[in-house]
Amino acid sequence: MQKEEVRKGDWIRIKQVVLSVRERDPHLPSSTRAVPLECYVNGWALFEGRVGDEVEIETLTGRRLQGVAVKVRPRYEHGFGEVVPELDHVGNLLRLVLAGRCSDRE
């Protein structure tokens, strides 16, 4: 299977190994200690390559970092968890308080 191309200027995600398994703290749980500590960072590719290659990126803040390209045009897939029914009304109440139409003591 051919790896996806990375073109200069593509928005990509890279992976860096921050600490190897040997560098992990011995006081960590064994399951944590058994894997390297990794960091994922998004930025614009500064050179061409392929997913799986070592590449250099420039981040939104202008940092230049090197790592292994893992994804071209990565999606943001985070969420804020399940709805908490007890907090459903807070947003509307806060808007009323800030607009001066409701006291925060009601």
| C-alpha torsion angle, residues 72, 14, 76, 38 (rounded to 10) | 150
Give the pLDDT confidence score for residue 44 in this predicted structure. 97
* pLDDT tens, residue by residue, 87-96: 888 888 888 8
What is the spatial distance between Cα 47 and Cα 29, in angstroms, rounded to a whole number?
Answer: 39
Query: DSSP letters of 39-85?
Result: EEEEEEESS-EETTSEEEEE-TTS-EEEEEEEEESPPP-----S--G
Q: Write out the H or E segment, with its range, that includes residue 38.
A: strand 37-45
Question: What domains does the chain contain, in order, with CATH numbers?
Answer: 5-75 (2.30.30)
Q: Indicate the pLDDT class of residue 103, thresholds 50, 70 and 90.
A: low
